Amino acid sequence: DFFPRKGKRNGAWMTSFKSQYIENDKNERPHVSIVCNFTKPTNTKPSLLTFNEVTTLFHEFGHALHGMLANTHYRSLSGTSVYWDFVELPSQILENWCYEKEALEIFARHYETDEVIPLEYIEKIKKAANFQEGLQTLRQLSFGMLDMSWHGINPSDITDVKAHERTVFEKTDLYPDVSSSCMSTAFGHIFQGGYSAGYYSYKWAEVLDADAFEVFKEKGIFDRSTATSFKDHILSKGGTENPMILYKRFRGSEPKIDALLKRAGLVT
């Protein structure tokens, strides 16, 4: 369901109408769909996706694969029914293919001339994506730690909201504090919206997807045995085992931050 229409919610997501499960020896297959709000085709032009829309499509397709390749007994543990901080690995890892020449050659062609997108455009997109990445990284870390700090101790013991926040932010400060600002009271993720100490999962998912994609970079982004291993150890397993056990079976070790820092341009 790719295009906007009246009454449709904004954004993009994967919907599961029916999960996969096994009952009476029958493997019931899942029904999933990808919902987006992409640039509509017109009378004279097909739908020409922006780069952002392409990465969104790959992202949601990753969630869809997690649902479609599920192969577990119980529907409550099937597909994307995993711990909160593991659900974005299949989706975010797929986005990496959008920056690879081998992948782009398959579909990223000019709609009139059939010319493959010039690689220098992709290099520019990569560089632009890393603009102010150091600041962004510190910002995400500070939000994750602030969220965690409110849930890690008895909040009744925190008598001064601003003073508490300052002690947390000290570790990630790049600019001096603005005394009139207070993030805790404006940060919905801390107490509502289902995060409640789970905001760190954004950055954590990046650690996982960058580290996992390293295997594909080493073996080839379309390497069949690596893809099969990713399917067998991660995509098909849902929440049947602890994510770290599943991850280590695919990767051979726990994730390291090196690949993420390198991709972000923070180390060379």
Contact residues toward Zn ion (CB under 5 A) are 91
Q: Give Cα separations from 225 to 146, 231, 236, 250 (angstroms).
A: 41, 10, 15, 11
Q: Minimal distance in Å, beta carbon 63 to Zn ion?
A: 6
| Cα separation, 53 vs 221, whole angstroms | 21
Q: Minimal distance in Å, beta carbon 137 to Zn ion?
A: 19
Residue nearer to Zn ion on the CB measure, 98 or 168: 98
| Cα separation, 145 vs 200, whole angstroms | 7
What DSSP line would sit under 158-196, residue for residue?
A: ---HHHHHHHHHGGG-SS---TT--SGGG-GGGTSTT-S
Q: Minimal distance in Å, beta carbon 54 to Zn ion?
A: 15
What DSSP line would sit under 26-86, residue for residue?
A: EEEPPEEEEE--PPPP-SSS-----HHHHHHHHHHHHHHHHHHT---S-GGGSTT-S-GGG
Residue nearer to Zn ion on the CB measure, 84 or 187: 84
DSSP state of 155: G
Residues classed as catalytic:
60
CA angle 96, 33, 206 (to 5 degrees): 25
Q: Minimal distance in Å, beta carbon 86 to Zn ion?
A: 12
CA angle 191, 197, 193 (to 5 degrees): 40
Q: Minimal distance in Å, beta carbon 183 to Zn ion?
A: 24
| Cα separation, 195 vs 243, whole angstroms | 18
Residue nearer to Zn ion on the CB measure, 12 or 260: 12
Residue nearer to Zn ion on the CB measure, 91 or 149: 91
Residue nearer to Zn ion on the CB measure, 72 or 91: 91
Phi-psi region of 265 (alpha: psi -120 to 50; beta: other; left: phi over 0): left
Whose CB is nearest to Zn ion?
Answer: 91
Q: Are strands 26-28 and 21-23 parallel, antiparallel or unpaired?
A: antiparallel
Residue nearer to Zn ion on the CB measure, 71 or 92: 92
Closest CA to 213 of 95, 107, 43: 95
